[in-house]
Amino acid sequence: MDDTPYLLDGAHWAWSTSGSIPHLLLAHLQYTALAVLVGFVIAFPLGLLIGHTGRGAFWAINAGNAGRSLPTLGLLSLLVVYMSSQGFLPVLIALVVLVVPPILTSTYAGLRSVDPNAVDAARGMGMSSAQVLFRVELPMALPVVFGGVRAAVLQVVATATVAAYVGLSGLGRLLVDGLALNDYGRMVAGAVVVAVLAVVLDLLLGLVQRYAVSPGITGRGLRRARGTRSVAESGAQSSELMSATPGGTS
């Protein structure tokens, strides 16, 4: 009997093998990307509108929180029953309901947290409402918006395993099939791969955020300027000390 752990067995990583971990991983990434994209297209413009105008915030935010409190597996089961479908559409709807709240609330909160003085100054310079939104408010709100996107991606990566409950692919197959076969090594492998995938995606999004957000907002530009000034001041002080020391200069 082969005692090699499921996760370390090379046969389970072979691309030529149907249902191997790479195939399941690719399907899982496709489900995640599509759900986040659809949810972003719905929530981000709505968050911009509410955050910029301040209208409808109560209803939109409370609706988003209500969507967050829905149990995804229960919602998926309900959609499958009423839509009479075992395809990806019920899974997509259930995951999009999970994506919308964090992106909507973070976009709204990010815009509302922008310094009103900066907004007033932009309007005083003659900027239109759209220019104020996209050239002042949104750039300053990007760190908060990215926080919502990262939270949404992590939630979807962890929850997209429900696709396996309606016969679809993805890393959830390792959990569902492992449970059905009492193969706990397979279940552990599925949990580990999902966790690692979530961490990797979060790190990648953090890297994107680092270069997408202006250094002046994150403080990187200020720290860089302070570091340059400190080096220059240290050099000046060293020169002064050498000049004041007898024999310090030739």
Asked if residues 174 and 131 have their Cβ atoms less than 8 Å apart, the reply is no
User: Residue 9: its pLDDT value, please?
Assistant: 86
Give tens-digit pLDDT for 156-185.
999 999 999 888 899 999 999 999 888 999
Q: Which residues of the chain have pLDDT under 50?
A: 1, 222, 231, 248-250
CATH class of 6-215: mainly alpha
- Break the chain down into helix, strand, coil percent, rounded to 5: 80, 0, 20
pLDDT at 247: 52
pLDDT reported for residue 175: 93
Nearest CA to 115 out of 148, 94, 137, 144 is that of: 137
Q: 86-111: per-residue pLDDT in tens?
A: 678 899 999 999 999 999 999 999 99
Report angle CA 153, 158, 164 to the nearest 5 degrees: 120
CA distances to 32, 78, 112, 243 from 72, in Å: 14, 10, 30, 73
